């Protein structure tokens, strides 16, 4: 058995994540930064604006996701959906990609009412793509 590379260095996963980020950027004109990261905060793919450091955004994304899931677990609120954090200039959304050990972050400035729905759709399609990639590999 050969050991698979870590998610953030797996070419098929990186390529699928890049396409998902491109789709998100295409559909959201106010997208300021976005990334797909591993659960432990390594950047798989992403785009980022002038503000901030891409690796730091990846670390903070995994922290936010883990805290969100821990709180949902503590309060017994079922399955975690997403974490939203909003400021006066914009907002960010963090959500798990299906049941993969991967997280999507999207930063919108300014935020709009459609952001959540679009990010959810992108994450869902990426999850399906990755399901197929990994299933293909197992067989």
Partner 1 sequence: MAEYVILFAGPMGAGKTTALRSLSEIEVVSTEAVNSDRSRNDKPTTTVALDYGEIDLDPDKVRLYGVPGQERFDFMWEILRDRAMGLIVLVNADAPEPERHVYEHLTAFAELANRGGVVVGVTRYDIQRTDIGDRIVATARAVVPDRVTPVFAVDARDQEQMRTLLLSLIADIETRQALAEATG
- Binding residues (CB under 8 A) for partner 1: these are 6-8, 38-42, 55-56, 59-60, 62-64, 66-67, 69-70, 74, 101
Q: How many CA atoms lie within 13 A of 87 on its CB side?
A: 7
Nearest approach, Cβ of residue 94 and partner 1 (Å): 12
User: What is the four-CA torsion angle of 107, 6, 130, 104, rounded to 10 degrees?
Assistant: -10
Nearer Cβ to partner 1, position 74 or 135? 74
Structure-block tokens of residue 5: 């590379």
Nearest approach, Cβ of residue 137 and partner 1 (Å): 17
- CA-to-CA distance for 110 and 89, rounded, in angstroms? 6
Nearest approach, Cβ of residue 72 and partner 1 (Å): 12
């Amino acid at each position: 058995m050969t050991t698979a590379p870590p998610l953030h260095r797996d070419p098929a996963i990186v390529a699928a994540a890049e396409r998902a980020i491109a789709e998100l950027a295409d559909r959201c004109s106010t997208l300021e930064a976005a990334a797909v990261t591993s659960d432990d905060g390594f950047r798989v793919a992403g785009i980022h604006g002038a503000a901030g450091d891409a690796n730091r955004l990846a670390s903070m994304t995994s922290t936010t996701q883990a805290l969100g899931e821990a709180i949902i677990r503590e309060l017994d609120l079922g399955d975690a959906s997403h974490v939203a954090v909003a400021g006066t200039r914009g907002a960010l959304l963090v959500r798990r990609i299906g049941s993969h050990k991967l997280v999507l972050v999207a930063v919108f400035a300014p935020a709009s009412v459609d952001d959540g729905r679009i990010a959810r759709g992108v994450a869902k399609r990426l999850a399906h793509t990755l399901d197929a990639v990994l299933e293909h590999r197992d067989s």
